Structure 1
Amino acid sequence: MNDSDAHLIEVEGLRKSFGDTEVLKDVGFAADAGTCTVLLGPSGSGKTTVLRSLNVLETPDGGLVRIGAASVDFDNPSPLKSARRTEVAALRARSGMVFQAHHLFPHKTVIGNLVEGPIQVQGRDRAEAEADARVLLEQVGLAGRETAYPAELSGGQQQRVGIARALALKPDVVLLDEPTSALDPELVGEVLAVIRDLSEQGWTMVIVTHEVRFAQDVADQVLFLHDGVVAERGGAEVLTDPREERTQQFLRRVLEAR
Structure 2
Amino acid sequence: MDAHRTGFMIDGRMGRLRSITQRAVDLLVYVVMWFAAFSAAQAVREVFTFVPGFVPWNGESPHGFFTAVGTASGLAVLALFTTLGARTISARAAAGRLVDGMGLRPPVSVRQALRWATVGLVAAAVLWAMAELVLHVPGLTSVPAAEDPRHAAVAQTSTSIRFCYGLIAPAPLEELVFRGPVLALWLALLAAQQRGSWIARRWVRWWLMGTAIAASVTLFAADHTLGGSANVAHAAANAVITIAVTLWQRSLFPALAAHGLYDACAFAWG
Same fold (TM over 0.5): no
Q: Which has the higher strand share?
A: 1
Q: Which has the higher helix share?
A: 2
Bigger CA radius of gyration: 2
TM-score with structure 2 setting the length: 0.28
